[in-house]
């Protein structure tokens, strides 16, 4: 029997585990040629048999596709695959991680509202908050998100979201999601989390209390660094009646309120939807995400332990290390590994540059979770346009190298690091 024709109930029986389910998500409708993989519908427009059907599709009263800035079958299939892994209410695929973040915050925030977050954010995200949303009247309140009681003091009636990175990049700080999720629930503020640094195949953001998960699928998910993409994952577990901006909409749309606003007004107008070719590539990436992450995370922990014993390295930062300050919370939330990126510090900025220039196998590049190992000096690159005062506030140290660990044999990577240190 073709899996596409097996009913939902039986599918749940034959696919008890999500590694299996994610590979066999059925198409919305049978493919004319019985294609095994979702075909790439590289078409801007979709045509209709009659004007009545056309009206239904354009006014959102039927599920038909009309125009690929709004929906596309290949992209929708990718969203459905992600939904099967995460158990989300809805998933929206965007053209970059930054689109996922900006569209989400624009959906929730309005002039006069504030976002409670931390200084430890990805550089573009910080600049989005301060330089783009700020001038539209959204206040950015930064505090130490690893201390829920401090977060509580920053929340007031105008707070529209607690926004954080599940593991901050590049500080590798881990917040207690359950505590923040509970706080958000108590105070009626949604918890919005960027999970780019640790993929959803390995923990459940929903069960930790996250309401909206955003991520750059450019990183782990794409695999091999083929394409830019982002995801907005709505778990449907926030009561939007508590939102100043969306409260009224919530009367009608209940759990679907956020997705309704995002899809109805925001991403379509900003023009941020994922393109079908990218969705095709990232669907393939998703099929091997679980395996790649395990191998890369295992390599990262092994390498972190070796680097701790290596002369010339002042300190190693990876939350899965037993002596890491966030070890306990990382282990409780994510298990044995905490992503596949680590940082280590050398004596000076000059030592970092000399080290980078001597690398032969590890590549000098800025992506995360490529199949190849990549090294970068964050302070002079990703954070290169911030002042030294701002860098200090953000805890971006001039002596730190960030290493995204790939699928190579870990001993080869270690040997390259050793030769570059000398
Ligand atoms: C890379 C990254 C982003 C932005 O993703 P793009 O796909 O490059 O737009 C956002 N947040 C974090 C934590 C990232 O590492």
Write out pLDDT tens, residues 228-272: 999 999 999 999 999 999 999 999 999 999 999 999 999 999 999
pLDDT score recorded for residue 97: 98
Of ligand 1's listed atoms, the one at least distance from the Cα of 217 is 7
Which pLDDT does position 202 carry in this prediction?
A: 84
Q: Provide the 10 A C-beta neighbour count for residue 10.
A: 11
Q: Which residue has tokens 């931390």? A: 118
For the CA of 218, the closest atom of ligand 1 is 7
Q: In whole angstroms, what is the distance from residue 215 CA to residue 134 CA?
A: 22
Q: Which residues line ligand 1 (CB under 6 A)?
A: 96-98, 122, 124-125, 165, 169, 194, 196-197, 216, 218-219, 228, 230, 368
What lies within 8 Å, CB to CB, of 55 at 6+ separation is 61
CB 233 within 8 A of CB 212: yes
Give the mutation target among 122, 166, 173, 383 for probing the ligand 1 site: most ligand atoms within 8 A of CB: 122
How far is it, in rounded angstroms, from Cα 154 to Cα 187? 12
Torsion, CA 29, CA 31, CA 35, CA 38, rounded to 10 = -50
Looking at residue 362, what is its pLDDT?
A: 98
Contact 275, 11 (CB under 8 A): no
Indicate if the pLDDT at residue 177 is higher than 80.
yes
Atom of ligand 1 nearest to the CA of 367: 1
- The string of pLDDT tens digits covering residues 178-201 is 999 999 999 999 999 999 999 998
Nearest CA to ligand 1 atom 2: 216
- Quote the percentage of the chain above a pLDDT of 70: 99
Segment 307-334, tens digit of pLDDT = 999 999 999 999 999 999 999 999 999 9
Within 8 A by CB and 6+ apart from 413, the residues are 299, 303, 361, 362, 373, 405, 406
Say what the pLDDT of residue 1 is. Answer: 59
Q: Considering only CA atoms, give the Rg of the chain.
A: 22
Q: How far is the CA of 215 from the centre of ligand 1 (A)?
A: 7
Residue 309: Cβ within 10 Å count: 8
For ligand 1, atom 5, the nearest C-alpha belongs to: 97
Q: Whose alpha carbon is nearest atom 1 of ligand 1?
A: 216
Q: What is the pLDDT of residue 123?
A: 86
Ligand 1 atom closest to 197 (CA): 13
Atom of ligand 1 nearest to the CA of 99: 9
Would you state the pLDDT for residue 68? 96
Count of other CB atoms within 10 angstroms of residue 111: 10
Give the per-residue pLDDT at 358: 98
Segment 340-373, tens digit of pLDDT:
999 999 999 999 999 999 999 999 999 999 999 9
Confidence of residue 21 (pLDDT cuts 50, 70, 90): confident
pTM here is 0.95
pLDDT in tens, 161-173: 999 999 998 899 9
Tell me: the pLDDT tens digits for 61-113? 888 899 999 999 999 999 999 999 999 999 999 999 999 999 999 999 999 99
Nearest CA to ligand 1 atom 8: 97
Q: How far is the CA of 309 from the centre of ligand 1 (A)?
A: 31
């Amino acid at each position: 029997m073709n899996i596409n024709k097996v009913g939902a109930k039986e599918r749940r029986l034959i696919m008890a585990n999500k590694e299996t389910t994610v590979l066999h998500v059925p198409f919305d409708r049978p493919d004319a040629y019985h294609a095994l993989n979702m075909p790439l519908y590289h078409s801007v427009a979709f045509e209709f048999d009659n004007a009545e059907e056309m009206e239904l599709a354009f006014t959102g009263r039927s599920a038909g596709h009309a125009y690929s800035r709004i929906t596309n079958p290949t992209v929708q299939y990718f969203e459905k695959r992600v939904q099967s892994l995460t158990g989300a209410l809805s998933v929206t695929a965007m053209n970059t991680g930054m689109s996922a973040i900006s569209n989400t915050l624009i959906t929730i925030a309005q002039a006069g509202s504030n976002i409670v977050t931390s200084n430890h954010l990805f550089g573009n995200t910080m600049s989005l908050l301060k330089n783009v949303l700020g001038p539209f009247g959204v206040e950015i309140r930064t505090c130490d998100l690893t201390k829920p009681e401090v977060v509580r003091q920053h929340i007031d009636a105008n707070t529209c979201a607690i926004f954080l990175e599940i593991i901050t990049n590049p500080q590798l700080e881990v917040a207690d999601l359950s505590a923040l999720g509970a706080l958000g629930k108590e105070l009626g503020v949604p918890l919005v989390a960027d999970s780019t640094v640790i993929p959803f195949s390995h923990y459940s953001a929903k069960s930790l209390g996250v309401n909206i998960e955003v991520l750059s699928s450019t990183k782990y998910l794409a695999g091999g660094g083929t394409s830019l993409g982002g995801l907005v994952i709505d778990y449907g577990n926030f009561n939007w009646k508590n939102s100043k901006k969306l409260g009224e909409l919530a009367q009608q749309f209940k759990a679907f309120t956020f997705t309704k606003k995002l899809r109805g007004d925001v991403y379509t107008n900003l023009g941020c939807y994922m393109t079908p070719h990218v969705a095709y590539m990232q669907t393939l990436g998703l099929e091997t995400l679980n395996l790649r992450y395990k191998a890369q995370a295992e390599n990262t922990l092994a390498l972190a332990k070796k680097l701790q014993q290596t002369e010339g390295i002042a300190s190693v930062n990876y939350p899965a290390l037993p002596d890491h300050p966030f070890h306990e919370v990382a282990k409780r939330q994510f298990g044995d590994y905490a992503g596949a990126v680590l940082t280590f510090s050398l004596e000076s900025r000059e030592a970092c540059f000399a080290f980078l220039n001597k690398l032969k196998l590890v590549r000098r590049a800025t992506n995360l979770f490529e199949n190849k190992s990549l090294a970068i000096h964050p302070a002079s690159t990703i954070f290169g346009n911030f002042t030294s005062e701002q860098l200090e506030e953000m805890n971006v140290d001039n002596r730190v190298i960030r290493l995204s660990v790939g699928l190579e044999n870990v001993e080869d990577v270690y040997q390259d690091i050793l030769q570059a240190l000398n």
